[in-house]
């Protein structure tokens, strides 16, 4: 039977503004795409991150409706959609995988989905006033996290450096891994000094020290940096395999950060992994403010890759109105608690 597709919009509301160097998020839109074949159903999330998603442009919902029409008519290409509209490709691929498995919210069966194994994650520290940063850091360490990721570039580097220095005095590098994410906050001129100071504090790595699109400047930083550089925003909007290869060969970072909902889904992310591993470039996966539906898909896929580094996966606790799910944090590990049920998605 031909597939039938429909969508449902869901506006996620943050508990409190989520600050980055690009500004503050107080709400964000996601669309759930639902596929049926008469017997099975698959649901995927198409999350739009303003100012970051490659398909963040006027008329996004109309594009999504048009793709639903293509699906209903039996004429669509997942690969083409993923390259042109990464957020839609991520949701569509997720829905297709769930539909094929004929098992609600189970896309990649494993010990994770059986509740037998968890995924080690980093504790994310959001930007904010100094006291808010210190509060988050204390809570994460008390919860048992051995890897923290601090967003930097918002309240002033001197203050941020002081906070990292305090953490390091209490917890040496063999006890606590510290990652930082600049979201492109620094310039090619100021970045070298900051990288040196981060190295003195035994910081594990820095994500996207300068704004995306400055390949030669970033290549120079990667060639001389005293700490590993990871690419994040730099990957967004790069859809063709030859361009992915070119980017990694020119810049040659130590790591890349994979956000499937911003890169076009799992097949697109695996293409990045294949190219990176041939160049001896490491990686880890990160969620990107999806609801629990999208996070669930990313977590299940990530577990199957058996990457031993801490992953950047949240639990959706940022939102007032997330979809209740079995995803649960136990210490620093994310689990799929099979004793918990999924909540209903309004309108579906």
SS3 state of residue 81: helix
> Rounded to an integer, what distance in angstroms lies between the CA atom of residue 274 and that of residue 235?
14
By DSSP bridging, strand 119-120 and strand 123-125 are unpaired
Neighbouring-strand partners of residue 210:
185, 186
> Cβ atoms within 10 A of the Cβ of 121, count?
25
Q: Quick one: which H or E segment has residue 178?
A: strand 177-181
Query: Which residues, including other chains, have CB under 8 Å from residue 16's CB and lie 6 or more apart?
Result: none
Instruction: To the nearest 10°, report the CA torsion of 241, 246, 247, 253.
Output: 110
Cα four-point dihedral sign 328, 334, 336, 337: negative
Q: Please give the structure tokens belonging to residue 318.
A: 């940022």
Answer yes or no: 244 catalytic. no
Place of tokens 């076009």: 264
Catalytic residue among 28, 63, 244, 259: 259
- What value does the CA radius of gyration of the chain take, rounded to a whole number of Å? 20
| Beta partners for residue 334, in sequence order | 119, 329
Catalytic residue status for 341: no
Contact of 82 with 264, CB cutoff 8 Å: yes
The active-site residue out of 63, 149, 151, 211 is: 151
Q: What is the DSSP string of 127-171?
A: B--HHHHHHHHHHHHHHT-SEEEEE-SSS-HHHHHHHHHHHHHHS
Kindly state the tokens that stand for 221: 């930083």
Phi-psi label, residue 152: left if phi above 0, alpha if psi -120 to 50, beta otherwise: beta
Catalytically active residues are: 151, 259
């Amino acid at each position: 039977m031909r597939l039938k597709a429909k969508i449902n919009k869901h506006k996620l509301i943050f508990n409190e503004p989520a600050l980055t160097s690009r500004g503050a998020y107080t709400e964000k839109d996601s669309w759930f795409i639902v596929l049926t074949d008469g017997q099975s159903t698959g649901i995927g999330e198409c999350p739009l991150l303003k100012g970051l998603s490659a398909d963040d442009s006027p008329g996004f919902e109309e594009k999504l409706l048009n793709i639903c029409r293509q699906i209903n008519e039996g004429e669509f290409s997942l690969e083409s959609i993923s390259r042109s509209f990464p957020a839609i490709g991520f949701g569509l691929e997720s829905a297709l995988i769930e539909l094929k498995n004929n098992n609600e919210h189970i896309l990649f069966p494993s010990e994770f989905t059986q509740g037998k194994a968890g995924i080690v994650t980093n504790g994310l520290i959001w930007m904010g006033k100094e006291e808010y940063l210190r509060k988050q850091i204390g809570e994460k360490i008390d919860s048992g996290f051995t890897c923290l990721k601090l967003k930097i570039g918002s309240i002033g580097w001197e203050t941020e450096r002081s906070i990292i220095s305090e953490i390091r005095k209490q917890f040496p590098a063999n006890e606590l891994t510290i990652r930082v994410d600049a979201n492109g906050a620094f310039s090619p001129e100021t970045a070298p000094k900051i990288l040196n100071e981060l190295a003195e504090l035994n910081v594990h790595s820095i994500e996207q020290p300068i704004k995306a699109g400055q390949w030669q400047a970033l290549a120079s930083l990667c060639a001389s940096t005293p700490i590993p550089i990871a690419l994040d925003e730099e990957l967004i909007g790069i859809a063709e395999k030859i361009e992915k290869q070119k980017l990694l060969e020119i810049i040659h970072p130590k790591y890349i950060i994979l956000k499937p909902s911003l890169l076009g889904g799992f097949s697109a992310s695996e293409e990045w992994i294949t190219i990176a591993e041939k160049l001896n470039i490491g990686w880890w996966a990160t969620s990107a403010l999806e609801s629990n539906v999208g996070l669930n898909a990313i977590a299940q896929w990530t577990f199957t890759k058996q990457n031993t580094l801490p992953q950047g996966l949240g639990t959706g606790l940022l939102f007032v109105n997330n979809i209740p799910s079995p995803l649960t944090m136990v210490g620093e590990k994310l689990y799929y608690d099979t004793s918990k049920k999924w909540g209903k998605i309004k309108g579906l």
